[in-house]
């Protein structure tokens, strides 16, 4: 009986320590929405691409056992402070904002991921790597930026740009389900990789 108790205790302790650095909740923030359509070209609106990708990410994370929270699940306008408030209300979480890019320089294309704090950088690096492992794109890097939703986040937070609506080749791909599925796969792989780093104590 005593041996069994010690075995259970040892198992519980190892389980606790293995979970110590990990997080359980992913707050998924689909950029823009409602009257804010984001970047657009013709009928291709960033707000729709971001929401579709966010919903794919949500489904994949749930299948892996993560708890997920969506800042929006339909075409509604949510203020930037409103998004931050949702993210910060979930303890032991990370915040992943999903966007598609736009620039007046039409030849620019590729993927980039932004972070604002040192403890968010490993997450940004992992998600950028994850996306590039799934689609053949220009690597614009994992970079520092002071975007509102990542600047005001209490937890590790990143802003992902899954390709340029302003570039004709990339716009053609963002319109296709397989492409958004691949971007979602890459984001999820990055989140899993980052969670493993947290669990192993390599990042905090
Ligand atoms: Zn955007």
Q: In CATH, what number is assigned to the domain containing residue 86?
A: 3.40.630.40
CA 186, CA 127: separation in Å to the nearest integer?
7
Whether residue 147 lies inside any domain: the answer is yes
At residue 22, the pLDDT reads 87
Cα of 41 vs centre of ligand 1, distance in Å, is 13
Backbone angles phi, psi at 95, to 5 degrees: -125, 125
Cα of 63 vs centre of ligand 1, distance in Å, is 27
At residue 147, the pLDDT reads 98
pLDDT at 11 over 60: no
Cα of 125 vs centre of ligand 1, distance in Å, is 19
Cα of 203 vs centre of ligand 1, distance in Å, is 28
Cα of 45 vs centre of ligand 1, distance in Å, is 10
Whether residue 106 lies inside any domain: the answer is yes
pTM: 0.90
At residue 69, the pLDDT reads 98
Cα of 199 vs centre of ligand 1, distance in Å, is 31
Cα of 21 vs centre of ligand 1, distance in Å, is 31
At residue 148, the pLDDT reads 98
At residue 2, the pLDDT reads 60
Q: For the residues 167-178, what does the mean pLDDT come to?
A: 98
The 10s digit of each residue's pLDDT in 28-64 is 999 999 999 999 999 999 999 999 999 999 999 999 9
Cα of 19 vs centre of ligand 1, distance in Å, is 33
% residues pLDDT > 70 (the chain): 90
Cα of 101 vs centre of ligand 1, distance in Å, is 6
pLDDT at 1 over 70: no
Backbone angles phi, psi at 49, to 5 degrees: -65, -40
Whether residue 92 lies inside any domain: the answer is yes
Tokens 């972070």 -> residue: 115
Q: Which of 122, 119, 193 is nearest to 153 (CA)?
A: 119
On whether the CB atoms of residues 162 and 183 are closer than 8 A, the answer is yes
Counted domains in the chain: 1
Whether residue 12 lies inside any domain: the answer is no
Reported confidence tier of residue 17, pLDDT bands at 50, 70, 90: very low
Cα of 148 vs centre of ligand 1, distance in Å, is 12
Whether residue 204 lies inside any domain: the answer is no
Q: At what angle do helices 121-134 and 177-199 cross, to 10 degrees?
A: 140
Whether residue 43 lies inside any domain: the answer is yes
* Least-confidence region, from 3-7, 105-109, 122-126: 3-7
On whether the CB atoms of residues 134 and 127 are closer than 8 A, the answer is no
Whether residue 195 lies inside any domain: the answer is yes
> Which domain range does residue 25 map to?
21-199
CA 82, CA 97: separation in Å to the nearest integer?
13
Whether residue 5 lies inside any domain: the answer is no
């Amino acid at each position: 009986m005593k041996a069994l108790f010690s075995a259970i205790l040892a198992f519980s302790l190892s389980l606790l320590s293995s979970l110590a650095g990990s997080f359980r909740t992913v707050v998924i923030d689909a950029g823009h929405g409602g009257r804010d359509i984001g970047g657009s070209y013709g009928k291709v609106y960033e707000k729709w691409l971001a929401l579709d990708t966010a919903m794919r990410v949500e489904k994949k994370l749930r299948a892996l056992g993560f708890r997920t929270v969506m800042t929006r699940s339909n075409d509604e306008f949510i203020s930037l402070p409103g998004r931050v408030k949702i993210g910060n209300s979930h303890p032991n979480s990370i915040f992943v904002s999903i966007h598609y890019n736009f620039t007046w320089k039409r030849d620019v294309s590729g993927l980039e991921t932004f972070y604002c704090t040192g403890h968010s950088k490993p997450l940004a690096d992992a998600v950028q790597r994850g996306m590039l492992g799934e689609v053949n794109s220009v690597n614009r890097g994992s970079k520092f930026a002071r975007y509102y939703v990542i600047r005001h986040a209490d937890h590790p937070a990143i802003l992902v740009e899954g390709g340029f609506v302003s570039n004709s080749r990339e716009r053609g791909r963002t319109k296709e389900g397989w492409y958004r599925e691949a971007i979602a796969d890459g984001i999820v792989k990055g989140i899993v990789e980052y969670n493993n780093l947290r669990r192993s104590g390599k990042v905090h």
